[in-house]
Structure 1
Amino acid sequence: MSRLTVAMQISIDGYVDSSLPNTSWQLWNWGPDWPWSTDLRAAFNGLLTDASGILLSRPMTDEGYLGHWGRMAEQHPDDPDWEFSRAIGALPKFVVSRSGRPEFDWPRTTVLNGELADTVEQAKKQAGGDLVCFGGAGLVSALLQEDLADELRLFTNPGFAGAGTSIFGPRLAMRNYRAADSAAYACGIVGTRWLR
């Protein structure tokens, strides 16, 4: 049976972004300068090794997610640290949407309209295997609330956001995940893996 893994960067105080100006809770904001240590880069690349597809929110694609990683793949064509950016381009992408928006003009990208549980199941079937979701926050929160994430991978940055968006909330108060493993990386990020 296909599984869905959700992967997110998070602050020590549990936010996935900051609404405060000039905060620096996040070591890497997905730009070209990548301060993650070699051990964390290898672990992050491993997220896509066995994936058959990527699940994305419509806002993420609207904000340039696919174009950004396409450019990063072109800029680092032979660098093993950036293998994940090439995998993002190569794997089928599934964009969940309730807006009925037409197809995106990106290769291997399909828009799935409808209820979230149905679109996740469609994506799994079309991918023919496991999916990885990198967000955004609204989609991840909904996946957790509807109990659709089989695995939660959190990359906790060594900083406080102070205020912002959380993927958690009171509707998850009675949910439990089982800790599978954790690792403290040389750059200061802690990776944790939780299973439903």
Structure 2
Amino acid sequence: MGKLVISQNISLDGVIEDPVGTRGRGNWFDFISARDREEWAKLELAEALGAEALLMGRRSYDWFIGRGWVTREGEWADRLRNLPKYVVSSSALDDPNWKNSMVLSGDVVQEVAQLKRQVNGDLVVNGSGQLVHTLLEHDLVDELRLITYPVVVGAGQRLFPKTNSLRPLRLVDVHTVGDGLAVLTYVMPGSSVSSRGRSAG
């Protein structure tokens, strides 16, 4: 049974949209140090090395393609290239050159539930805000890894959509990255998959 992990860059006010500023809200990386960026990259590499597969929405997939991940060099790029990548999309991929990319075109909830049964390890979701909302709504998420930036964005898509019900989470790990980033790891209620992070309490 796979563990579905939502791994997000997130602002202090809960925004997950556009951390690199492509939509004019400012690049969050402008507000952290060079050391923070280096340590963040090491964290992302470690997560990729520990993943068994990636799950993403079509827009996030296209964003990765547009940023040159198909041809980038280095250990991180190589790892992403070799990982199975499952893309939620109603149409075929425009650029299938990113190795090991497969489309999930059926019912999202059923497809992801089946995928969790097939993957033996971490199934990691980066970005993909709309998909994340669907996964959270249908209780398919086992763990949240939130890389928290010391910035208030003020507008943009947030991790959790509006809800009328309380949803308690269990904090299982807290640590800093570089000088200014905090990584918070939560296990979702009802998850039968244990976290490998160290206990926060």
TM-score norm. by structure 2 comes to 0.77
Partner of 1:5: 5
Matching of residue 102 in structure 1 with residue 82 in structure 2: no
Tell me the SS of whatever aligns to 1:36: helix
Stretch of structure 1 that moved more, 146-155 or 181-190: 181-190
CA contact (8 A) 1:145 1:172 kept: no
2: CA distance, partners of 1:180 / 1:125: 24
Unpaired runs of 5+ residues, structure 1, are 29-33, 78-82
1:23 alignment partner, one of 17, 26, 44: 26
**How much does 1:175 deviate?**
1.9
Aligned-pair distance for 1:109?
0.7
Residue 68 of structure 2 is aligned to residue 68 of structure 1? yes
Counterpart pick for 1:149 among 130, 141, 144:
141
Distance (whole Å) between structure 2 residues aligned to residue 180 and residue 139 of structure 1: 24
Q: Is contact 2:35-2:178 (8 Å) kept?
A: no
Residues of 1 paired with 2:92 and 2:47: CA distance? 29
Question: Mean Cα displacement is larger for which, 15-24 or 180-189?
Answer: 15-24
Percent of residue pairs identical: 30
- Once the two structures are TM-superposed, the CA of residue 172 in structure 1 deviates from its matched residue by 7.2
Q: Is the 8 A contact 2:2 2:118 kept in 1?
A: no
Distance 1:68 1:141 in 2: 27
SS at match of 1:70: coil
Q: Identify the residue that residue 111 of structure 1 maps to in structure 2.
A: 103
2:196 maps to none
> Cα–Cα, structure 1 residues 4 and 172, in superposed 2: closer, same or farther, change >3 Å?
farther
Tell me the CA shift for residue 37 of structure 1.
4.6
Once the two structures are superposed, what CA deviation does each residue of 1:125-168 show, in whole Å capped at 9, x if it has no partner? 55444311102111112211111110100011111111111121
Q: Which residue of 2 aligns with 1:48?
A: 48
**Residues 47 and 173 (structure 1 numbering): CA distance in 2 closer, same or farther, change over 3 Å?**
farther
Unpaired runs of 5+ residues, structure 2, are: 189-201
Amino acid in the other structure paired with 2:8: M
TM-superposed CA distance for 1:68, in Å, is 2.4
Structure 2 letter corresponding to 1:116: V
Q: 1:126-141 maps to which residues of 2 (within 5 A)?
A: 127-141=119-133
Deviation of the 1:44 alpha carbon: 2.5
| Counterpart-to-counterpart distance in 2, 1:89 and 1:66 | 14
